[in-house]
């Protein structure tokens, strides 16, 4: 079974509108972390936001927020007020384990976002 599932291979969003990117995960660990990365056409992986499994509040970083629904094992990324520069691939990832004991990040297949002017 896939550990990280991103069901939207691609989507369009109108500039200045909000967009939600879906991510569901599968783990039996109680301690885990969820990440979102942005990968523009240049190829670099840009860290956006992190949510720990014990964090009670949804993480927010500027225009990015993570809608964490633990019981549903869902960690959707919300980008508010989309900008043309938001056009990129977006990857959800999970790290199982805690602190230095947790090792590899497992990535989903990604969602390509294209922001229309």
Partner 1 sequence: GAGVSQSPSNKVTEKGKDVELRCDPISGHTALYWYRQRLGQGLEFLIYFQGNSAPDKSGLPSDRFSAERTGESVSTLTIQRTQQEDSAVYLCASRSDIDGNTIYFGEGSWLTVV
Q: Which of residues 41-70 bind partner 1 (CB under 8 A)?
A: 42-45, 47, 50, 52
Strand partners, 74: 24, 69
Q: Check residue 84 for interaction with partner 1 (CB under 8 A).
A: no
Q: Count the residues of the shown chain that bind partner 1, applying the rule CB under 8 A.
A: 24
Phi, psi of 3 (to 5 degrees): -80, -35
CA atoms of 117 and 114, how far apart (whole Å): 10
Which spans of this chain sit near partner 1 (rule: CB under 8 A)?
33, 35, 37, 42-45, 47, 50, 52, 91, 93, 95, 99-100, 102-110
């Amino acid at each position: 079974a896939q550990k990280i599932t991103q069901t939207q291979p691609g989507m369009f969003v109108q500039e200045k509108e909000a967009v939600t990117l879906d991510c569901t995960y599968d783990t039996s660990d109680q301690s885990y972390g969820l990440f979102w990365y942005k990968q523009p056409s240049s190829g670099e992986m840009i860290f956006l936001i992190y949510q720990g499994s014990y964090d009670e509040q949804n993480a927010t970083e500027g225009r990015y927020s993570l809608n964490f629904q633990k019981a549903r094992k869902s960690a959707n990324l919300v980008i508010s007020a989309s900008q043309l520069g938001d056009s990129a691939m977006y990857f959800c990832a999970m790290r199982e384990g805690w602190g230095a004991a947790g090792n590899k990040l497992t990535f989903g297949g990604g969602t390509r976002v294209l922001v229309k002017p």
